[in-house]
Each structure stands twice: as C-alpha cells, then as structure tokens.
Structure 1
C-alpha cells in the first residue's frame, strides 16, 4: 500500500512540475520582452546601488575637531569664532547682537574682521572657508 501511495505522490509531483513548466514557458513566450526589460532594469538598479556605495565617501565620525592651528594662524579671537558660528547658523547682525549682548555696530565690526582674516567678501564665502578649514561644523 505504501508503494502505491509513493507512486501516486511521485506521479502527482511530476504532473504538477510539468504543468508549472508549461505555464512558465507560456509566460516566457507571451511576456518575453517585458521580462527581459525588467531583468535589465534590475541589473542596472543593482549596479547603480553597488557603484553608489563604493564610490560615495563615508562620512567622517560625528566628533568634530576644531582646527586650533588654523585659528591661531589666522589670528581669530574667541569672539570672532563665536561670530563665525552664529554666521553659519544664519542669524542676522541684530540677532547676533541680541544673542551676544553687544550692539549691532560691534557685530558689524567683528564680521568685517572675520571677512578680513578669512580673505572673503560675503557671508557664504566666510562660512564655506570656515567649514573647509574646520573652524566650524
């Protein structure tokens, strides 16, 4: 009896496999270009993801080390470093004056000195150069 059950099970398994194969071969004929395009797209997506992970530089550690040597060589004071950090946060001269408890004219003087020491003309240039020199985050 077990032999018969095993034979029927094998026959059913072969028949199911044959039906699946026929359905697969029919689907391949009907949807061949769609399948090839999808496989090609998956290949390019995976290639792009792989290349992106390999070619994109990893971000440095989250610990920021201020470049004290650059600060000394530029002659920046502690107040000018504060002004530079506030510039990077996008505050106006009045907002910086309120935050530091000084007059807006004093802020303008500090900003002008920072521009002079960094050899720039605009806020954006000062922020970019300060980030490049690792003076601010």
Structure 2
C-alpha cells in the first residue's frame, strides 16, 4: 500500500511545485513594475530607519530633581506635595484618603489649598502647572 502511495505523493508534490513556480513566473512578469516599486519602497524605509537611528542622538534620561525653590516660593507644605503626587497618579479623593490615612474632607481641604497656591481651577491644570514647575515628575 505504501509503495503505491509514495510515488503518487512525490508526483503530486512535484506537480504542485511546478504550478507554484509557473504562477510565480506569471506574477513576476505581470506585476514586475509593482514588485520593483515595492522593493524600492521597502529599501527606502529600511534606509530611513537605519539613518534615523544612527543620526539621532540618544539622550539619557536624567533623574528627576524637584524644584525646591518653587516649592518654597509657592508656600507648599510637604503634605501638599504628597497630595500633588497622588493627584498626578490619577487617584480619587477617597483613594488618596485611604493611602494617607486621613479623612476625605481633609484631602478636599489640601486639594483646595494646592489649587489656590498654584492658581488653578482643576486637577488637570494643577498637574500641568506642577510638572512645568518641576514640582512632580
């Protein structure tokens, strides 16, 4: 049984390979311009990526340095700086209260004072201003 199947399998495999080769020849002949354009585009992209990586300087990220002078000039307390960091992490008032072990009303008071000292009206503006002043990373 295997002696009859193997020759047929080999003939079918050779026929499939021949048909694939003929299809490849037809496609390369019929779409030669598109294939060349594609190869040139891929080569250009690869060259651009390589040149960009080689020519662009790599800056090492410097560690965050808090602007203590701005903190003193704004009159922010250590607790208010903690509140700013927690605001930047996206936590709600209840989550901040649980983290710091104080009541949510105390958090609201601290957040209000931070808004007053930074002269902003909401969390997004407070975080943006604190980052621009290097108060938080």
Tell me by how many angstroms 1:53 deviates: 6.8
Q: Distance in 1 between matches of 2:43 and 2:80?
A: 53
Q: Distance in 2 between matches of 1:53 and 1:94?
A: 48
Correspondence for 2:84: 84
Q: Distance in 1 between matches of 2:128 and 2:58?
A: 19
Tell me by how many angstroms 1:37 deviates: 2.7
User: Structure 1 residues 100, 53: closer, same or farther in 2, change over 3 A?
Assistant: farther
Correspondence for 2:95: 95
The 3-state SS of whatever aligns with 2:112 is helix
User: Structure 1 residues 53, 109: closer, same or farther in 2, change over 3 A?
Assistant: farther
Q: Distance in 1 between matches of 2:127 and 2:72?
A: 18
Unaligned runs of 5+ in 1: 1-25
TM-score (norm 1): 0.66
The 3-state SS of whatever aligns with 1:69 is helix
Tell me by how many angstroms 1:55 deviates: 6.0
The 3-state SS of whatever aligns with 2:96 is helix
Q: Distance in 1 between matches of 2:99 and 2:133?
A: 25
Unaligned runs of 5+ in 2: 1-24
Correspondence for 1:124: 124
User: Structure 1 residues 127, 48: closer, same or farther in 2, change over 3 A?
Assistant: same
Q: How many residues align?
A: 109
Q: Distance in 1 between matches of 2:84 and 2:54?
A: 34
Tell me by how many angstroms 1:72 deviates: 1.0
